[in-house]
Amino acid sequence: MARGLLYALAGAAMGAVAARAAHAAFTRNRPADLTSRWTRKNHRGEPVTLLEGPAFVAGSAAAAALAPGLPGRVRAAALLAGGGSGALGAYDDLYGTTASKGFKGHLTALARGEVTSGAVKILGIGATGLGAAALVSGGPLDTFVNGAVIAGAANLANLFDLRPGRAIKVGLLAGGPLLAASLLRDAPAAAALAAVPLGAAAALLPEDLGERAMLGDAGANALGALLGLAAVTRLGRPGRIAVLGGVAALTAASEKVSFTKVIAGNPVLNRIDMLGRRPAGPA
């Protein structure tokens, strides 16, 4: 357990330092036209930068490349899952439209022959998820299940990025037990893999809660994909199938139910959601 804890601390620290350094580099002295391309209005109608997302992708990628204890194939899978989903998310951030919304909306448009940026992202993240899964799986069935978990988790994390800090909080709540289980079962590589995105996300949480920046598709997709990868490398087949079922159920529910309304209507979830945020309502 001591070695696993050491690797986890190193991975988390590297992720945090790299993400903060990337965020500072991306947001310092940017040209006005570049800054405006990465600016969106949040739920209050206030402008925030989406550069937190690329900062997370760059920070977690740097940490995954350098963190001790990761086998070569796992390291490559992390770079593919996080970097690939982050790049596709950034494409949707910059060029996406609101003409089609949700998983169903993009696939329906694709069936009509209309290729939306969201459809490109869905298909691309599916491909990078399968590619990453192939690097850490033992056969075709495991590759399919693991790839679906990685891609599904990437999409699901993005569905929570609707209020300040929410996607990161969900990531920390989901990844924390996974990290703890890896430490308790003396799995140093799994602990390091889980710690990398958690450290990077935690380091950027103050910017997100302060409503100065947001993960956007780039950061949220990468966060979900890396946590999905951490899950499939740690869990047995029954656990991975259960995770896939949960991810699929929540994704399907999001087409019919507003997560924001559900969270606001539950006292416990709402308290967690509001922790560290400005009070709800107009500025």
pLDDT digits (tens, 9 = 90+) for 24-33: 999 886 665 5
115 pLDDT more than 60:
yes
How far apart are the C-alpha atoms of 244 and 221, rounded to whole Å?
A: 16
Closest CA to 259 of 152, 162, 151: 162
Q: For the CA atoms of the chain, what is the radius of gyration? A: 18
CA distance 70 to 228: 16
Judge if pTM exceeds 0.85: yes
Distance (Å, whole) CA 274 – CA 209:
9
pLDDT in tens, 56-92: 999 999 999 999 989 999 999 999 999 999 999 999 8
DSSP state of 114: -
Query: How far is CA 209 from each of CA 53, 119, 130, 163, 275, rounded to the nearest angstrom?
Result: 14, 30, 33, 9, 9
What count of other Cβ atoms lies within 10 Å of the Cβ of residue 69? 21
Q: Which residue has the tokens 């992708």?
A: 57
**Could you give the CA distance from residue 107 to residue 114 in angstroms, rounded to a whole number?**
9
Distance, in Å, from the CA atom of 199 to the CA atom of 13, rounded to the nearest integer, reads 6
Higher-scoring residue by pLDDT: 205, 46: 205
pLDDT interval class at 283 (50, 70, 90)? very low
Cβ atoms of residues 5 and 187 within 8 Å: no
Instruction: Answer yes or no: are the C-beta atoms of 86 and 128 closer than 8 Å.
Output: no
Averaged pLDDT score across all residues of the chain: 89
The 8-class DSSP code of residue 213 comes to B
- The enclosing H or E element of 39 equals strand 39-41
Q: Compute the distance between CA of residue 153 and CA of residue 225 in angstroms, rounded to an integer.
A: 6
Contact status, residue 124 vs residue 99, Cβ threshold 8 Å = no
**Which one-letter DSSP state was computed for residue 255?**
T
Find the helix or strand (DSSP H, E) in which 139 lies. Answer: none
Residues 55 and 115: their CA atoms lie apart, in Å, by: 28
What are the start-end ranges of the H helices in the chain? 2-27, 32-37, 52-66, 72-95, 102-111, 117-136, 140-159, 166-184, 188-209, 216-234, 237-254, 259-265, 267-274
Residue-wise pLDDT tens digits, 161-185: 999 999 999 999 999 999 999 988 8
Tell me the domain boundaries of the chain. Answer: 2-257
